Amino acid sequence: MIFTAEQQKIFEEIKRLKKAKNAVILVHNYQKPEIYEVADFIGDSLKLCMEAKNTKADIIVFCGVNFMAESAYILNPGKKVIIPFYDAGCAMADMLKPEDLIALKKKHPKAKVVTYINSSAEIKALSDAVCTSSSAVDIVRGLDGNEIIFVPDKNLAKYVEKQVPEKKIIAFDGYCPIHDFLTKELLYEAKKEYGNAKIIAHPESRNEILESADHVASTSEMINCAKKDPAKDFIVLTECGMVERLKKEVPDKNFHGVCNFCFDMKKNTIESVLKCLKEEKFVITVPKDVTEKALKAFDKMFELTKNGQTND
DSSP state, residue 139 = H
Burial of 92 (0-12, 13-18, 19+ CB in 10 A): buried
**By CB under 6 A, residue 71 contacts ligand 13P:** no
Residue nearer to ligand SF4 on the CB measure, 14 or 121: 121
Report the alpha-carbon distance of residue 162 to residue 151 in Å, rounded.
Answer: 16
Binding site partner of 91, from ligand SF4, ligand 13P, none, Cβ cut-off 5-8 A by kind: ligand SF4
CB atoms within 10 A of CB 32: 18
User: How far apart, in Å, are the Cα atoms of 93 and each of 98, 149, 217?
Assistant: 11, 16, 20
Q: How big is the chain, counted in residues?
A: 312
Residue 243 dihedral angles phi and psi, to the nearest 5°: -65, -40
Residue nearer to ligand SF4 on the CB measure, 138 or 264: 264
Question: Which position among 14, 27, 37, 44 is part of the footprint of ligand 13P (CB under 6 A)?
Answer: 44
Binding site partner of 222, from ligand SF4, ligand 13P, none, Cβ cut-off 5-8 A by kind: none
From residue 222 to residue 251, what is the string marking binding to ligand 13P with x (rule CB under 6 A)? Answer: -----------------x------------
Question: Which position among 55, 132, 205, 268 is part of the footprint of ligand 13P (CB under 6 A)?
Answer: 132
**By CB under 6 A, residue 45 contacts ligand 13P:** yes
Interaction site with ligand SF4 (CB under 6 A): 65, 90-92, 118, 176, 178, 204, 239, 262, 264-265
Distant-in-sequence, close-in-space partners of 136: CB < 8 Å, separation ≥ 6: 114, 116, 156, 159, 160, 203
Residue nearer to ligand 13P on the CB measure, 277 or 301: 301
**By CB under 6 A, residue 133 contacts ligand 13P:** yes
Long-range contacts of 212-215 (CB under 8 A, 24+ apart): 212/184, 212/187, 213/237
Residue 49 dihedral angles phi and psi, to the nearest 5°: -60, -45
Q: How far is the CB of 45 from ligand 13P (least distance, A)?
A: 3
Residue nearer to ligand SF4 on the CB measure, 90 or 301: 90
